[in-house]
């Protein structure tokens, strides 16, 4: 049984500190480590559950000072917290401090069973949860860079020959180990699993298209978020037809600062296709493009979310507020057979001077035609 005053102090003064850390080390993480540590401690003999509880609560506090040495900083924080002296003697605080320090999976073996307990609890050995934590740690990365970094981390830490060795009080599940090994060594498997997890985590929808045509010449990455509408009626689809160049593109465009995706979608559907009074919008999927920018010396990373749009006013096809370049391209809304639009765009893809969006929207047309 953990004393109420200790729980109150940890929950009101210690755990809230985690809210300031990166997404992989916030209160959901520390609460998980605390829960696992306490549960593990209860299965062992001669272990003070209160000391385990506090050790787990403090284990990542050093992140507030320095990430690389956070385990050492966590030890210092425990030793400097005078409140702990209300409940623990000097020798107990020493064990708690060292347990917080020894939680890291790399390095030397923990000095005490308390350190081993927290270390085991901190070793999240759920495949999907590990991938999610890795993504959250560097959420600013684009999909392709994140995949590369996560696979490197998995190889270094979670693969059979990684620095995460055997658990002290738990067994490492072989089926999970096999999955980590395959993720590290089999690119196609890693891509498939990562795409599934990343899409729902970051975008809330499946990734249905992705391509990376960027070079290694530039470091600057310019990110653009866009939304696009898919209106289908029988075998017909509503497209923005570019009369000057001939191709078909999905009506849509960039999301403005402070604008929500659905708000932007409705605006773009009105501007490019004259569609109003939309009553139903559902997720189709997201397309990711990464390529050298045609506008500056950098890399262009575009996130295009595609939505199925149905039950709208079909009598309002009057284009409004087109950008100048769209007027120059002769953008007009047009209902066309899906197969005809796809075939037409596939021909245009043979032109080396085609517009940069042709490949993306042609592949999305192909995806829709196969649904």
- Does the pLDDT value for residue 316 go beyond 60? no
Mean pLDDT score of the chain: 91
Q: Say what the pLDDT of residue 350 is.
A: 92
Tell me if 266 sits within 8 A of 254, measured CB to CB. no
pLDDT tens readout for residues 215-232:
877 877 889 999 999 999
Confidence category of residue 325, pLDDT binned at 50, 70, 90: low
Cα–Cα nearest to 318, from 274, 371, 260: 274
Q: Say what the pLDDT of residue 322 is.
A: 64
- Does the pLDDT value for residue 329 go beyond 80? no
Q: Say what the pLDDT of residue 328 is.
A: 63
Q: What number is the average pLDDT over the span 67-93?
A: 96
Q: Say what the pLDDT of residue 65 is.
A: 95
Token pair, residue 126, equals: 């759920």
- φ, ψ at 89 (rounded to 5°): -85, 175
pLDDT tens readout for residues 85-134:
999 999 999 999 999 999 876 667 899 999 999 998 988 788 999 999 99
Q: Say what the pLDDT of residue 17 is.
A: 97
Task: Give the DSSP letter string of 242-304.
Answer: ETTT--EE-SEEEPPTT--HHHHHHHHHHHHH--B---EEEEEEEEEEEEE-SSSSSEEEEEE
Strands 252-254 and 248-249: unpaired
Helices (H), the chain: 4-9, 27-41, 49-58, 70-80, 90-101, 113-122, 127-137, 143-153, 174-185, 187-198, 261-273, 324-329, 338-348, 358-369
Handedness of CA 246, 251, 255, 258 (dihedral sign): positive
Tell me if 239 sits within 8 A of 249, measured CB to CB. yes
Query: pTM for the complete prediction?
Result: 0.80
Cα–Cα nearest to 62, from 86, 30, 85: 30
């Amino acid at each position: 049984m953990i004393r109420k005053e200790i729980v109150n102090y940890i929950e009101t003064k210690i755990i809230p500190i985690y809210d300031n850390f990166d997404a992989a080390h916030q209160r959901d993480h520390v609460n998980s480590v605390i829960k696992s540590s306490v549960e593990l401690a209860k299965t062992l003999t001669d272990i003070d559950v209160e000391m385990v509880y506090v050790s787990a609560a403090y284990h990542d506090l050093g992140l507030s000072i320095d990430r690389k040495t956070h385990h050492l900083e966590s030890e210092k924080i425990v030793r400097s917290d005078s409140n702990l002296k209300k409940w623990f003697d000097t020798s107990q605080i020493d064990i708690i401090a060292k347990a917080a320090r020894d939680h890291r999976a790399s390095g030397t073996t923990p000095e005490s069973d308390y350190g081993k307990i927290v270390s085991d609890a901190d070793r999240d050995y759920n495949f999907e949860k590990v991938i999610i934590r890795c993504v959250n740690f560097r959420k600013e990365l684009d999909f392709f860079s994140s995949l590369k970094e996560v696979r490197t981390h998995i190889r270094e830490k979670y693969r059979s020959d990684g620095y995460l060795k055997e658990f002290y009080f738990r067994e490492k599940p072989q089926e999970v180990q096999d999955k980590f090994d395959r993720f590290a060594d089999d690119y196609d498997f890693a891509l498939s699993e990562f795409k599934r997890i990343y899409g729902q985590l970051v975008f809330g929808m499946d990734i249905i298209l992705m391509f990376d045509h960027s070079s290694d010449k530039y470091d600057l990455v310019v990110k653009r978020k866009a939304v696009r509408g898919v209106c289908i009626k029988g075998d017909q689809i509503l497209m923005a037809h570019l009369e000057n160049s001939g191709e078909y593109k999905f009506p849509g465009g960039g999301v403005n600062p402070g604008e929500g995706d659905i708000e932007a979608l409705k605006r773009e559907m009105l501007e490019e296709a004259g569609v109003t009074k939309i009553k139903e919008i559902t997720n189709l999927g997201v397309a990711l493009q990464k390529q050298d920018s045609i506008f500056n010396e950098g890399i262009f990373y575009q996130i295009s979310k595609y939505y199925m749009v149905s039950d709208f006013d079909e009598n309002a096809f009057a284009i409004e507020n087109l950008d100048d370049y769209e007027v120059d391209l002769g953008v007009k809304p047009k209902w066309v057979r899906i197969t005809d639009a796809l075939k037409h765009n596939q021909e245009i893809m043979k032109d080396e001077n085609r517009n940069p969006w042709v490949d993306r929207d042609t592949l999305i047309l192909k995806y829709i035609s196969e649904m």
